[in-house]
Structure 1
Amino acid sequence: MKASPVYTLAEGVPYGSATTAQHFGGDNIKGLMLLQDTQLIETLAHFSRERIPERVVHAHAVGAWGEFEVTHDISEFTDAKFLNGIGKKSKTLLRVSTVGPERGGSDSIRDVRGWGMKIFTEEGNQDWVFNSIPVFFVRDPIKFPSLNRSHKRHPATNMTDPTMFWDFHNNSQEGIHALMLLFSDRGTPKSIRHINAYSGHTYKLTKEDGTFHYIKVHIKTNQGVENLLNDDAVKLAGQAPDFHAADLHQAIVNENYPSWTVYFQIMKPDDAETYRWNIFDMTKIWPHSDFPLIPVGKLTLNRNPANYFADIEQAAFSPSNMVPGWAPSADPMLQARMFAYNDAARYRLGVNYQQLPCNRAVSHVYCPYQRDGFMTFTDNYGGDPNYVGSDLKPVTFAGNVGANGCVVGGHEKWIGQVIGFTSRVVDDDFVQPRAFWEVLGKQNGQREHLAYNVACHLSGADPQVHAKALEMFSKVHPKVAEMIQVELEKIANSHR
C-alpha cells in the first residue's frame, strides 16, 4: 500500500495540522488572529488569487487527452512529419467549448462549439482551432469583437439580450449561412462525442521543393452526429448543465474511447485564382462535389485530465502554432486570430504560458531571446546570450521557415495591393444559405425545426428588430421568412 503524502506548506515545511490557526485569546473561538501564522495568511492570500481571467470567448469547456494517428499517405502534399507515415501517432490535447457563455454556462446552450486541439509533434506544437460549423458569421476581423459582444450580456442590464444578437446579425448578414446552421438542430449537440469540427479557414500544405496546396480540414465523428431538440436542450440546461462533461468523462472511464476521422479538402493554387467563391472568405464552403474529402487520420480520446484547471483551463491554443509543412493563407480572419489567440494567453496565463505542462512542446525548445517575465520555471537558458548576434554561444538554424526571403507556400502576388477595405454583403452571399435550405427540405421536419428555433430566440428580442430579421431570411428564400413569421405569431398568441 502506498504511503500517504506528508502535508507541508507551499515552501515544503512539514506542518502538523491543516485546520489550526494561531490567535491571542485562549483555547476558544474568541481571539485575535496573529500575523505570524504563515499557514493562515498563505491560505487566505492564495484563495483570493486562485481564479485567473476566464476566456473572453470559449470560457466554458470540456476536454481530454488522446492521440492523432495517420491512416492515409498524403506525403505528396506536405513534409509535415506528424502527417507522414501510416501508423504515426502524436499525443493530443482536445478542448471543446461553447463560445458565448461564461465558465458557469450550460453545456446545452444553443451555440457554436469551439474545437481547440494541440498536437505535440517532434517539430513543435501544431494547433487546430476550429468550430463545429463549416462557415463563420463574419469574414472581416474588424467585426469580430462586435460579433461576440452582441452575443453576450447587455451593458446596462447585465442580462443576455436577443435584441443585441439580432440587431448585429440584421446589419451584418454576411454570416447568414452560419446563422442558419446555428439555429438548425446542429446548434445543440447531444454530447461532444457526437459533433463534427471544421477549420473554416483556408490553410496551406507545403513541401520543401516549394510546391503547396490550399486546404480545409474536416473532422467527422465516428459515433454519428446526434443533436438535441430545442425544448429538450432548454430543459437540460436546468437539470444537468454539465452533462457534456459527465458524458465524456464516463465514456473514457468505461474505455469507450470516442474517435473522429480527419479529412482534408485540397485545392491547387491555379484553381484558387478562378474558383466560384473567394477561397479566403470564411463565410463560404468548398462544395464536396468540387473538392472531395480525402481521409488523413484518426483522433482518439483515451485519457481524462488528472486536474481540470492544470490540463484544460490553462491550455492555450492558437492558429499561429504551425509546424513545417503547414502554413497560413491570406485569409484575413486567420491572420487576425494568429495574433489574438496568443495575446489572449499572455493576458490570462502570463508571458511564459508555453512552459506550462499542458502547453509545453515535447520537441526540443531553444528560444533564448524569449525569456524572463512572470513565472518562468525553466533554467531560463542560464548564462546564454539573450540578444541576437553573438559569438559566445553558437546557434544552429535549420529549415526555411522564417528565413530571409522565404515566403511559406508562396503564391502571394495574386492577392492584390494594400488598400482600405470594407466587406460588403452582396446577392452572392445568399447562394450557399439557399442551398442549405434546399438540403433541409430533403430531411423530414428540418425546415420546421429551423423556423421554430429561430422564432424561439427572436421572440425574446425587441419587436423593432423582427422585421429586419425576417427581411434578411427572405433573401435566402421567401418561405424561410414566412415560416419564421408563423412561429413568431404562435409564440405571441401563447403569451396572451
Structure 2
Amino acid sequence: MLLLFVMLAATVVAEIQDPAAEQIIKFKEKTSGPIGMMTTSAGAPVPHSEALNTLNTRLLLNEYFMDTMTHLVRERIPERVVHAKAGGAFGYFEVTHDISHICKAKLFKQIGKKTPVAARFSPVIVERGGSDTSRDARGYAVKFYTEDGNFDIVGFSTPMYVYNDPRLFPTFVRAQKKNPATNLFDANTVWDFLTLQPESIHMFLLIFGDRGIPASYRNMPGFGIHTYQVENEHGDVNFVRFHFVPDAGIKNLRSEEAQKIGAEDADYLTRDLYKAIGNGDFPSWTVSVQILTFDDVKHADFNVFDVTNTIPLSKFPLRQVGKMVLNKNAVNYFAEIEQLAFSPANLVPGILGGPDKVFEARRLAYRDAQYYRLGANFHNIPVNCPFRAQGLQVYNRDGRAPVLDNGKDIPNYFPNSFNGPVPYDDKKRVQLIEILEPEPNNFRQATELYVNEMTTEERSRLVENVLYSLGSAASFLQERAVKIFSIIHPDLGYRIEQGLRSNKTKPYHDITYNHYIV
C-alpha cells in the first residue's frame, strides 16, 4: 500500500512539473465529455456516417471530407526566412522607475503602471523544424500593447548586430542558409561572408563564444540593438538603448551539452519556457536603458548609431525602467505565436525609432514580410491587434481576411469632408534626426571584448568553436579569417592559425598566451 501511495504521489508531481507533456490530458480532465457537436467550417453539423467512413460513397458529396481535405493542403503559411522556429509567451511590463523626463510614451507614464506584452524568442538561421540548441544568435522580440497602439522592440540576444549597411541583409541570410545545390549548411559561404564583412566578427565572437547557446530562454538577455530617439512632453530629445536582463541570471550551454540535449529534444528551449510558465515559475527580466543626450552623441569617440557596436556601459550605465514578466502560455501556438507579427515600424508617440539605415530598412522589410506571410490585414489578427488603443480608426479596407468590421460605413479616403477620422496635432513633436555615418572601426570593440570581457577558459572555448566551424572551409577563407582574427588580437589569430595547422577542432593552448593578453 505504501509503495502504491508513493507511485501515485510521483505521478501527481510529474503532472505538475510537466504541463507541456500533460496539456492534452489536462484538457480532457477539465471537460466532462465532448465539448459540442462537430460541424463543417460553414457551421453545418457533421453526420456520423460522413465522419467515420468514405468507402463506397461519393467523396464530393461528403462535406466533412471535402472541408477537411481542402483545408489541410492550405494549413501552412509561408515560413519566415529567418527566425522561423520560436518559443513565445504573454505577460506584462511594469514601470519601476520614472523616465517621463526622457520619454513621454504612455507605457513609461508612472511607477506601477502595467502594459500587456507578447514576447517571441527565436534562433536566427534554423528552419521551423530545426534544433533549439543550435549555435546561433537569437531574436528577442517584444510587443507592448499600449493605449497609443503597439510598440515593438525587435531585438537580439546579443547587444550588437551583424552589419551596418542594410544592403547586406539578403547576402547575410543566404550565406548562412543552406547551399542551393547541396541543400546543406556550408562553412565556405558562412566564412566567405564573415571575412568579406569584418564588422560581423564582433557579434560572432559572442556566437562562437560562451553566449552562442542559451541554457533557456528564461536565462537569455535581450537587446534593442538600435539607439532610439525619444522625446519628452516638451519636445526635448534624448537617445536610448534598451536592455532586458534576466532576473534568473544569464546562463548558457557548452557545445557538448547542447549537442547531447539537441539529439534528445530539438524543442528543448521552447519546452522549458512552456513548462516553467505552466508551473507558475514565471520568468522575468529587468528592463533598463542607456541614456545619451545630444551632446553625448556629438562628442562620443564612436558612432553611437552603429548597430555592429555597443555603447560602453562604463560611460553610459544602465538606468532601470521596469520589469517584464511572462505569466501566460499561448492557448493555441499557431494563432498566437506563429501569427505574432513584429515590426520596428510599430512606434508610439514619444519613441521615434533609430536614425540608422538598418532601422530604416527593417521598417520596410518586416512590414513587407508580414504582408507576404499573413496578408494585408495582418493587424486584424487578434494577437497583432492594438486592442488597447481607443478604437481602431484606419482608412485601409478590403483584402484578404480578417477584415473585422472593415471600417463599417465611415469614408474610406483622407482627407474628406464627411467627418472621417483625422490625425492628431502635436506641435511639439520633433523629427527623427538625420545622421552621416562615418567609416566604421570594425575591430576596436571586438578587441576589447576578447581582451577584457572573456576569461582564459572562455577564450579557449571561443577558439575551439571557431575551429569547429572554420576547419571545413576552403584554405583561402581560413587565411582571410586568420588575418582578421590577428587584427583583433595577435593571440587570437595565432591560436586559430595553429589549430588549423594541427587540423584539430579543440582548444590550442599557447604558452605565450599571457604575453599577448595585457
Fold shared, TM-score > 0.5 on shorter chain: yes
Kindly indicate whether the alpha-carbon contact (under 8 Å) linking 1:368 and 1:385 is maintained by their aligned counterparts in 2.
Answer: no
Do structure 1's residue 16 and structure 2's residue 42 form an aligned pair?
no
Partner SS, residue 52 of structure 1: coil
| Structure 1: runs of 5 or more not aligned | 24-28
Task: Name the counterpart of 2:129.
Answer: 104
Percent of pairs identical after alignment?
38
Do structure 1's residue 464 and structure 2's residue 505 form an aligned pair?
no
Partner SS, residue 442 of structure 2: helix
Task: Name the counterpart of 2:284.
Answer: 259
CA distance in 1, matches of 2:42, 2:103: 49
Give the counterpart letter for 2:369 in structure 1. Answer: A
Task: Name the counterpart of 2:393.
Answer: 367
Kindly indicate whether the alpha-carbon contact (under 8 Å) linking 2:395 and 2:407 is maintained by their aligned counterparts in 1.
Answer: no
Which of residues 218, 224, 228 is equivalent to 1:193? 218
Change (3 A) 1:440 1:202: closer
Change (3 A) 1:410 1:138: closer
CA distance in 2, matches of 1:466, 1:40: 57
Kindly indicate whether the alpha-carbon contact (under 8 Å) linking 2:397 and 2:406 is maintained by their aligned counterparts in 1.
Answer: yes
Change (3 A) 1:323 1:15: same
Do structure 1's residue 474 and structure 2's residue 505 form an aligned pair?
no
Give the counterpart letter for 1:351 in structure 2. Answer: A
Which of residues 111, 129, 150 is equivalent to 2:154? 129
CA distance in 1, matches of 2:50, 2:443: 65
Shift of 1:329: 2.8
Change (3 A) 1:182 1:251: same
Shift of 1:47: 0.4
Kindly indicate whether the alpha-carbon contact (under 8 Å) linking 1:90 and 1:119 is maintained by their aligned counterparts in 2.
Answer: yes
Do structure 1's residue 432 and structure 2's residue 445 form an aligned pair?
yes
Partner SS, residue 472 of structure 2: coil
Kindly indicate whether the alpha-carbon contact (under 8 Å) linking 1:106 and 1:241 is maintained by their aligned counterparts in 2.
Answer: yes
CA distance in 1, matches of 2:319, 2:346: 23
Give 1:205-220 correspondences, 5 Å limit: 205-220=230-245
Task: Name the counterpart of 1:94.
Answer: 119
Deviations 1:256-302 (A, max 9, x none): 10000001001001221221111221111111111110000000010
Partner SS, residue 154 of structure 1: coil
TM-score using structure 1 length:
0.91
Deviations 1:343-376 (A, max 9, x none): 1000000000000111011212433421111113
Give the counterpart letter for 1:11 in structure 2. Answer: A
CA distance in 2, matches of 1:212, 1:231: 48
Task: Name the counterpart of 2:466.
Answer: 454
Give the counterpart letter for 1:352 in structure 2. Answer: N
Kindly indicate whether the alpha-carbon contact (under 8 Å) linking 2:89 and 2:119 is maintained by their aligned counterparts in 1.
Answer: yes
Deviations 1:168-225 (A, max 9, x none): 1111101221111111110011111111111111101212322010111111010111
Shift of 1:21: 6.4
Kindly indicate whether the alpha-carbon contact (under 8 Å) linking 1:368 and 1:384 is maintained by their aligned counterparts in 2.
Answer: no
Do structure 1's residue 391 and structure 2's residue 422 form an aligned pair?
no
Partner SS, residue 114 of structure 1: strand
Task: Name the counterpart of 2:404.
Answer: 378
Kindly indicate whether the alpha-carbon contact (under 8 Å) linking 2:235 and 2:429 is maintained by their aligned counterparts in 1.
Answer: no
Give 1:267-282 correspondences, 5 Å limit: 267-282=292-307
Partner SS, residue 399 of structure 2: coil
CA distance in 1, matches of 2:260, 2:226: 34
Task: Name the counterpart of 2:275.
Answer: 250
Shift of 1:234: 2.0
CA distance in 2, matches of 1:80, 1:330: 18
CA distance in 1, matches of 2:50, 2:140: 42
CA distance in 2, matches of 1:261, 1:216: 14
Task: Name the counterpart of 1:315.
Answer: 340
Change (3 A) 1:18 1:232: farther
Give 1:110-125 correspondences, 5 Å limit: 110-125=135-150
Task: Name the counterpart of 1:139.
Answer: 164
Deviations 1:26-56 (A, max 9, x none): xxx5x46431211111111100000000101
Partner SS, residue 225 of structure 1: coil
CA distance in 2, matches of 1:190, 1:369: 46
Shift of 1:377: 3.2
More helix by share: 2
Change (3 A) 1:424 1:146: farther
Change (3 A) 1:472 1:261: same
CA distance in 2, matches of 1:248, 1:19: 40
CA distance in 2, matches of 1:333, 1:170: 20
Partner SS, residue 464 of structure 2: helix
CA distance in 2, matches of 1:345, 1:279: 30
Partner SS, residue 139 of structure 1: coil
| Structure 2: runs of 5 or more not aligned | 1-30, 507-518
Q: Which moved more, 1:101-110 or 1:5-14?
A: 5-14
Kindly indicate whether the alpha-carbon contact (under 8 Å) linking 1:22 and 1:37 is maintained by their aligned counterparts in 2.
Answer: no
Shift of 1:409: 4.5
Give the counterpart letter for 2:275 in structure 1. Answer: Q
Give 1:52-71 correspondences, 5 Å limit: 52-71=77-96
- Cα RMSD of the aligned pairs, angstroms, is 2.0
Kindly indicate whether the alpha-carbon contact (under 8 Å) linking 1:141 and 1:333 is maintained by their aligned counterparts in 2.
Answer: yes
TM-score using structure 2 length:
0.88
Partner SS, residue 118 of structure 2: strand
Kindly indicate whether the alpha-carbon contact (under 8 Å) linking 1:456 and 1:488 is maintained by their aligned counterparts in 2.
Answer: no
Change (3 A) 1:18 1:463: farther
Deviations 1:396-436 (A, max 9, x none): 43243xx8xx8645544xx35xxxx9x866xx321110000
Task: Name the counterpart of 1:26.
Answer: none
How many residues were matched structurally? Answer: 474
CA distance in 2, matches of 1:19, 1:454: 59
